[in-house]
């Protein structure tokens, strides 16, 4: 059940009204039922997988808390993490592992038939698995208490706004909100509805519009050449941003309408002036998860510079692999890791401290922001490519033909399409620039009611019209991760 469908509009309307009409003591039961209904709307078979994840992490956390011996606590924690992660490894990476082993053995002249198991990857498994693993580790570290009420723990793992594509919640942030008695807050609900509308605009008006032209190039790579690859990569850079941040806006907005606060997941990432800053603004819940549960346990920066660099590289390679069982994702993660290592070394060599960085002149910051954007966009090309061989074909061919008209013809883009996509990018950048300084959705409250409602109605009409007429709408990109 996608956020951008009529089915979800009906589901959300019923859920919203019933939730606020019910007494507080029954709301957790209703939310749990809504979560289950939402999840099985994709495929009822997914329910068994998420139930195993819930039970394994729930039992493990309680056993950890009951145990007094540190060594036994660690064994229980490690067992729980392995069991919880094993489901993700099977559904997401087993076929990739079998394919890789077969390739390696065949190269060594050891015959082995390539085998592909018919596994259906459950929606959101990468996200709720990481939430469950983080919960187990946090209970072990004493950062949060084990939840004794299985139903309320199940709400944490399966909360419908963020189960499909995050944000990846933390137990200490979310679980206390379940028991907290909530009163209807008109301003909070309105702000949540604005976030929902903003997310729909990003997804339907911008991301889905760019899908046709991006897919035309990346799904038919051998049939294209020249600068059309650069233009398609640029469009994908904004497509994936609007698609994913649009989902996060909707998830946070829907949760806000029900009185829940989810973690912030995006903060104008393309305004970053370094790769490190980019990862402090892009998919924040994932980058902080990898920081806390991979980078820091590896030693973080509390070690030699060489070991720190290795820790960074391993963390980013794991991040790339998390996105998908493909060498393209690993390479994408590796590019970001290497760039951040180079950044750190340059800053150390030049003595560029955080204070000096803040004091840089505006032209220098703009130049660094442009450079960072180019690096991030270039890396997205590997992320979107269907294979390593196609990615390197794009690299070799990108600037062999600089004819703009030829590029537009290859992408089946009319002059009107170029104007529409360019205008969408410009308006998005302007919105992010203003949103960087002030919360633009909050600023809407300062407008007079008639003007506000004109904005709401026009935006809704545009979204509905494009949704009805758009033949190239797709699922959210991060659903497959």
Give φ, ψ of 180 to 5 degrees: -65, 125
Q: Which residues are identified as catalytic?
A: 323
Collapse the DSSP code of 428 into the 3-class scheme (helix H, G, I; strand E, B; otherwise coil) and give the result. Answer: helix
Structure tokens at 390: 């196609």
Sequence-separated (6 or more) residues with CB below 8 Å from residue 301: 308, 311
DSSP per-residue codes, 133-165: HHHHHHHHHTSSPPP--HHHHHHHHH-TTTTTT
Q: C-alpha dihedral over 282, 286, 289, 293, to 10 degrees?
A: -120
Return the DSSP state at 282.
S
Return the DSSP state at 264.
P
Half-sphere exposure for 442 (CA within 13 Å, toward CB): 7
* Residue of 1, 44, 329 lying closest to 160 (CA atoms): 1
Q: What is the 3-state secondary structure (H, E, C) of 366-396?
A: HHHHHHHHHHHHHHHHHHHCCCHHHHHHHHH
Any idea how long the chain is? 481
How many Å apart are CA 55 and CA 472, to the nearest integer?
Answer: 39
How many Å apart are CA 140 and CA 62, to the nearest integer?
Answer: 10
């Amino acid at each position: 059940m996608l956020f951008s469908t009529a089915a979800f509009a009906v589901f959300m309307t019923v859920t919203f009204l019933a939730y606020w009409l019910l007494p507080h003591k029954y709301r957790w039961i209703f939310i749990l039922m809504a979560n289950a209904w939402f999840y099985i709307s994709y495929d009822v078979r997914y329910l068994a997988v998420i139930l195993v994840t819930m039970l394994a992490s729930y039992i493990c956390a309680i056993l950890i808390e009951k145990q007094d011996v540190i060594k036994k606590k660690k064994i229980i924690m490690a067992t729980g993490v392995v069991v919880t992660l094993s489901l993700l490894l099977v559904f997401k990476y087993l076929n990739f592992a079998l394919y890789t082993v077969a390739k390696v053995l065949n190269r060594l002249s050891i015959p082995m038939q390539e085998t592909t198991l018919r596994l259906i990857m459950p929606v959101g498994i990468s996200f709720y698995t990481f939430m469950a693993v983080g919960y187990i580790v946090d209970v072990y570290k004493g950062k949060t208490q084990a939840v004794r009420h299985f139903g309320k723990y199940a709400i944490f793992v399966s909360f419908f706004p963020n189960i499909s594509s995050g944000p990846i919640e933390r137990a200490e942030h979310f679980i206390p909100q379940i028991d907290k008695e909530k009163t209807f807050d008109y301003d909070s609900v309105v702000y949540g509805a604005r976030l929902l509308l903003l997310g729909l605009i990003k997804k339907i008006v911008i991301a889905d519009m760019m899908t046709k032209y991006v897919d035309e190039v990346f799904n038919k790579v051998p049939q294209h050449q020249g600068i059309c690859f650069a233009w398609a990569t640029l469009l994908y850079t904004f497509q994936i941003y609007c698609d994913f941040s649009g989902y996060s806006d909707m998830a946070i907005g829907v949760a806000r309408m029900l009185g829940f606060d989810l973690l912030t997941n995006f903060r104008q990432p393309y305004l970053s002036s370094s790769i490190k800053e980019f990862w402090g603004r892009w998919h924040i819940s994932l980058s902080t998860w990898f920081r806390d549960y991979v980078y820091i346990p590896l030693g973080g920066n509390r070690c030699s510079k060489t070991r720190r660099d290795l820790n960074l590289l391993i963390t980013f390679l794991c991040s790339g692999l998390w996105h998908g069982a493909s060498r393209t994702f690993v390479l994408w993660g590796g590019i970001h890791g290497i760039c951040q290592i180079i950044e750190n070394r340059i800053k150390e060599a030049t003595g560029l401290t955080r204070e000096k960085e803040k004091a840089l002149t505006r032209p220098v910051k703009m130049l660094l922001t442009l450079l960072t954007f180019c690096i991030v966009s270039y890396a997205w090309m590997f992320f979107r490519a269907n294979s390593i061989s196609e990615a390197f074909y794009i690299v070799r061919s990108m600037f062999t033909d600089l004819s703009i008209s030829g590029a537009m013809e290859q992408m089946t883009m009319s002059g009107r399409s170029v104007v529409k996509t360019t205008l969408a990018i410009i308006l998005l950048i302007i919105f992010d620039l203003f949103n960087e300084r002030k919360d633009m959705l909050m600023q809407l409250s300062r407008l007079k009611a008639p003007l506000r409602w004109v904005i709401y109605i026009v935006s809704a009409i545009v979204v509905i019209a494009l949704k009805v007429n758009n033949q190239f709408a797709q699922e959210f990109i991060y659903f497959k991760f």
